């Protein structure tokens, strides 16, 4: 194993799942400009994530639609005519 390739400066950070506001603390070397004040009154660096084990369909057993950057809206507007055509024929 190579020496001196792993980071040495781990710090406590908070990860926040933006789809359901679930937060958890762990050690990381990831950098961020955001911070959050936790229940203990201390301020920690905040890393925002789009999906975690509390919102991922594999872990929850439910299919959940996660809309990031308006992808669902873009899809719906692109195929709106097709959806309206199918509704009229029903």
Q: What is the DSSP string of 25-69?
A: EEEE----S-EEE-TTS-EEEEEEES--TTT-HHHHSS------T
Q: Per residue in 11-68, pLDDT tens?
A: 999 999 888 888 999 999 999 999 999 999 999 999 998 888 777 666 666 765 555 6
- Cα-trace Rg, the chain: 20
Pair of tokens at residue 35:
């911070």
Across the beta sheet with 43-49, what order do the strands follow? 22-28, 11-17, 43-49, 35-37
Verdict on whether the full-model pTM lies above 0.75: no
Show Cβ contacts of residue 16 under 8 Å, excluding neighbours closer than 6 positions: 22, 23, 36, 46, 47, 48, 49
Q: What's the rounded Cα separation, in Å, for the pair 10 and 52?
A: 21
């Amino acid at each position: 194993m190579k020496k001196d390739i792993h980071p040495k400066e781990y710090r406590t950070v908070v990860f926040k799942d933006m789809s359901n506001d679930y937060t958890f603390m762990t050690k990381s070397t990831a950098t961020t400009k955001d911070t959050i004040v936790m229940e203990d009154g201390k301020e920690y660096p905040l890393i925002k994530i789009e999906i975690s084990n509390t919102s991922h369909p594999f872990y929850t057993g439910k299919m959940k639609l996660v809309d990031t950057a308006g992808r669902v809206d873009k899809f719906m507007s692109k195929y709106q005519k097709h959806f309206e055509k199918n509704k009229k024929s029903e």
